[in-house]
Amino acid sequence: MQLNVTDLNGNGIKRAKDYLIKVANIDFQIDESWNEIMNIAEIRNSIVHSEGFLNDSKKAEKIKNYISRRHDISIENDKIILSADYCRYVINIISKILRNLKT
């Protein structure tokens, strides 16, 4: 299959998902894990691009809303604080998605 530049739009994770669907012909089932990966990506982006500070984040409100629903991640002085439990949770979510891709 030949792709055009516009066939793989978006960034990062969305582009990887599009590649898996369009090039690798993987039946990528969208479930709650995918939505959670997108939330995790927002947390990651804030940490990497803004040193975890939400006041510098373009999507601060979305991130704050996500964090408010969780007990294993918090905000202190406008900075994201990850717990070991949250890190384990992220590993489990990613592992689940990778297992689903394998099958």
Paired strand residues for 73: 82
Asked if 53 contacts 78 with a C-beta cutoff of 8 angstroms, the reply is: yes
State how far the Cα of 73 lies from the Cα of 55, in Å rounded to an integer: 17
Paired strand residues for 79: 53, 76
Q: Can you state the angle between helices 84-102 and 32-50, rounded to 10 degrees?
A: 130
| 2-25 pLDDT, tens digit each | 666 566 666 777 777 777 777 777
Paired strand residues for 81: 74
| 27-47 pLDDT, tens digit each | 666 667 778 988 999 999 899
How deeply is 67 buried, as exposed, middle or buried, from its count of CB atoms within 10 A (0-12, 13-18, 19+)? buried
pTM attached to this predicted model: 0.76
The position carrying tokens 């990506």 is: 41
Percent of the chain with pLDDT over 90: 38
Q: Which pLDDT score is estimated for 76?
A: 95
Q: Which pLDDT score is estimated for 14?
A: 75
Ranking 40-44, 53-57, 85-89, 91-95 by mean pLDDT, the lowest is: 53-57
| 57-72 pLDDT, tens digit each | 668 899 999 999 999 9
